[in-house]
Structure 1
Amino acid sequence: MAELPSMQQLKNFIIYGKYGNFTSAANAANITQSAFSAQIKKLEDVVGVRLIARSNRGSHLTKAGELLFQRLEPILDELEGCLDEVRSMDGRAQPLSIGIMLSLGDIHMNRHLAYFQQHYSGASFQVYNLEAQELLQKLRNDELDIISLFRLPSMDIDGYEQVCFCKETIVYYAPHIVVSGGVATADFIASQPLAQYSPQYVMNEYLNQFLSAHTSLPLQTQAWFSTPYAMMNYCQANRIGALLPERFLKALGVVGGWYDVDPPIVLPCYLLYKRSNPRYEAIQVFVDYMKRTYHVPS
């Protein structure tokens, strides 16, 4: 009987087919490029056909490689789904990989996951905190099963299953700044020192566009941070303000020092996932739980 490729070799080949170059594919597979190349070479030896053409200008799938990629991807998804189903019969279901938007804060999702694990036998999760575009990229490449993020105008989320599970109010957090009248206008926010999300984040882009649309004053940004935790801590130690999720502050027990924004900033929070995911049934169980938690109509 002829030798068959290993699952890891096949999965790495699928990863290459999605990225189209060895460097990106090796990073996605979380192994060194030399180890990744060795896996692909072993696969080609077993199959007996060159699957990837290599040259000084780069690499690409051969015709045989394109055929294998097109035929293999759905088969591999089905096989992984079958294995997950078999493991679940023995209480060993594969964990769901869940991605959470950095600017959203993970404290609520962590609590949901802890509660879900207590009440649903065998449930397990791997949680990743990433920037929004990274989340979408990893969902697109099947590296995450489900992601939670704000739906912002610059995001393309068509083509995914979408569940809006709550709406998030953004408030002005400034414990050392007195806001007259208890409401922070765009003019007032722009007139004070401001802490913002990192410039490469879509939340930074969105909030800058929001403020620019409602004030002609230039922003006095003095610091940039990757997480709402860091922004909150910096505001607590300095005379500076930041735009943060109200639900995030409440979850951390922050009862004062934040103010409503005028005009209000209300962002829908979505769960995104693929119908074609082999763990679709497990995803649906979690999504239904989230919908019940936030009283979302079915």
Structure 2
Amino acid sequence: MMEVTLRQLRAFAALARTGGFTRAAESLHITQSALSGLIKELENQLGVRLVDRSTRRIRLSEVGREFHSATTQVLRDLDAAVENVDNLKRLRRGIVRIAAPQLMSSTLVPEVIAGFRQAYPDVRIHLVDCAVETVIAQALRGEVDISIGPQREAVAELVADPLFDLPFMAVFPPGHPLEANSRVAWADLVRYPLISLQGQFTDRLSMDLQGISAVPPIRPTHEVAFMSTALSMVNSGLGVTTCLPYAQTLVDLYGLRMRPLADPEVRRQFFVYHRQHASLPPAAEAFVQYLHEHIRQRAWGSATP
């Protein structure tokens, strides 16, 4: 089986382009004898003469002219492929596919995307906002590069990269009796109509608070699908709710107040998930690094004035 090398092909292309061994060798920064050796090796590999030599000039044989056309296309495609990989590596192009819960997709993630796009304007971001229960499955199925979501039972096929660990906050309208407190006890919060999220959100909270005698069982007055709905209901005076500090921009947008919840402090840990045996594309890897840096720069947990 013939083993034509890339050096041989580039030597032949340079010779055909320049029309002489001296100029071809100079263009490749090799000696003329080295160039002549590469051409002879190529002809021996193919078993045909590609170049007709004379004392004054060289000319491509008929086979050489046809081979030159194919060689030019091969080298052009190879150079384009190498340039494409280099662009991906240098983040001159690429796409990052992210799945995140609806609340995070309307607060934290857009902030990160905006900053990342300033640093890497040629990288496209595709955000999938979905229910928190389905966010991890997006990465597991390979539909996204990364998923950002809360701690769940370990999945062997996924890598879980810790992102942040934050306490729950109480959210209520301005002028509410709880506004006088720098911190709000759970026992005080649940005395008011509580608006909570459906499904695992309320179930996990109940488990965290179970067995604490000072805190009555959580019985939400309203259970809704999205935190934006809960905040709108709080804004309308229908009750209070809880959320994590990363949602503060949305809380502020509704003109609401936020205070740390205590007695006990309940926390939630979030992770960046990606498939175990699939390396992240360069753009996705850069986005994860930028996300971690953005989190480190945030000062969460303080009360809203």
TM-score (norm 2): 0.60
Q: Which amino acid counterpart does residue 101 of structure 1 have in structure 2?
A: P
Q: Which residue matches 1:233?
A: 232
Match of 1:166 among 164, 167, 188: 164
Q: Which residue matches 1:6?
A: none
Q: Deviations over 1:173-200 (max 9, x none)?
A: 122641264432222222221111122x
For residue 164 of structure 1, report the CA deviation from its aligned partner.
Answer: 1.9
Aligned alpha-carbon RMSD (Å):
3.2
Secondary structure of the structure 1 residue equivalent to 2:97: strand
Does the CA contact (< 8 Å) of 2:107 and 2:249 recur in 1? Answer: no
CA distance 1:197–1:103, change in 2 (3 Å): farther
Does the CA contact (< 8 Å) of 1:104 and 1:245 recur in 2? Answer: no
Secondary structure of the structure 1 residue equivalent to 2:296: coil
CA distance 1:85–1:100, change in 2 (3 Å): same
Distance 2:230 2:127 in 1: 22
CA distance 1:220–1:238, change in 2 (3 Å): farther
Does the CA contact (< 8 Å) of 1:196 and 1:223 recur in 2? Answer: yes
Does the CA contact (< 8 Å) of 1:171 and 1:259 recur in 2? Answer: yes
Q: Which amino acid counterpart does residue 207 of structure 1 have in structure 2?
A: L
For residue 110 of structure 1, report the CA deviation from its aligned partner.
Answer: 0.8
Q: Which residue matches 2:282?
A: 281
Q: Deviations over 1:1-33 (max 9, x none)?
A: xxxxxxxxxxxxxxxxxxxxxxxxxxxxxxxxx
Distance 2:114 2:245 in 1: 22
Q: Which residue matches 1:245?
A: 244
Does the CA contact (< 8 Å) of 1:104 and 1:228 recur in 2? Answer: no
CA distance 1:106–1:90, change in 2 (3 Å): same
Does the CA contact (< 8 Å) of 1:190 and 1:211 recur in 2? Answer: no
Q: Which amino acid counterpart does residue 163 of structure 1 have in structure 2?
A: D
Does the CA contact (< 8 Å) of 2:139 and 2:274 recur in 1? Answer: yes
For residue 243 of structure 1, report the CA deviation from its aligned partner.
Answer: 0.8
Q: Residue 193 in 1 paired to residue 193 in 2?
A: yes
Distance 1:89 1:246 in 2: 34
Does the CA contact (< 8 Å) of 2:195 and 2:241 recur in 1? Answer: yes
Q: Which residue matches 1:156?
A: 154
CA distance 1:265–1:219, change in 2 (3 Å): closer
Secondary structure of the structure 1 residue equivalent to 2:216: coil
For residue 273 of structure 1, report the CA deviation from its aligned partner.
Answer: 1.0
For residue 207 of structure 1, report the CA deviation from its aligned partner.
Answer: 1.5
Which ranges in structure 1 are unaligned for 5 or more consecutive residues?
A: 1-81
For residue 105 of structure 1, report the CA deviation from its aligned partner.
Answer: 5.0
For residue 138 of structure 1, report the CA deviation from its aligned partner.
Answer: 1.8
CA distance 1:91–1:139, change in 2 (3 Å): closer
TM-score (norm 1): 0.61
Distance 1:143 1:101 in 2: 15
Does the CA contact (< 8 Å) of 1:187 and 1:214 recur in 2? Answer: no
Distance 1:231 1:184 in 2: 19
Distance 1:288 1:267 in 2: 21
Distance 2:248 2:209 in 1: 21
Q: Which residue matches 2:51?
A: none
Distance 2:287 2:271 in 1: 13
Which ranges in structure 2 are unaligned for 5 or more consecutive residues?
A: 1-81, 298-305
Q: Which residue matches 1:76?
A: none
Does the CA contact (< 8 Å) of 1:117 and 1:123 recur in 2? Answer: yes
Does the CA contact (< 8 Å) of 2:157 and 2:276 recur in 1? Answer: no
Q: Which residue matches 1:139?
A: 139
Does the CA contact (< 8 Å) of 2:165 and 2:267 recur in 1? Answer: yes
CA distance 1:228–1:213, change in 2 (3 Å): farther
CA distance 1:188–1:293, change in 2 (3 Å): same
CA distance 1:181–1:289, change in 2 (3 Å): closer
Q: Which amino acid counterpart does residue 232 of structure 1 have in structure 2?
A: L
For residue 251 of structure 1, report the CA deviation from its aligned partner.
Answer: 5.8
For residue 257 of structure 1, report the CA deviation from its aligned partner.
Answer: 2.3
Does the CA contact (< 8 Å) of 2:164 and 2:269 recur in 1? Answer: yes
Does the CA contact (< 8 Å) of 2:91 and 2:282 recur in 1? Answer: no
Does the CA contact (< 8 Å) of 1:104 and 1:150 recur in 2? Answer: no
For residue 89 of structure 1, report the CA deviation from its aligned partner.
Answer: 8.4
CA distance 1:195–1:120, change in 2 (3 Å): same
Structure 1 residues 199-278: aligned runs within 5 Å: 199=199, 202-215=200-213, 217-250=216-249, 252-253=251-252, 257-262=257-262, 263-277=264-278
CA distance 1:212–1:191, change in 2 (3 Å): farther
CA distance 1:243–1:271, change in 2 (3 Å): same
Identity %: 10
CA distance 1:135–1:99, change in 2 (3 Å): same
Q: Which residue matches 2:294?
A: 293
Q: Which amino acid counterpart does residue 222 of structure 1 have in structure 2?
A: T
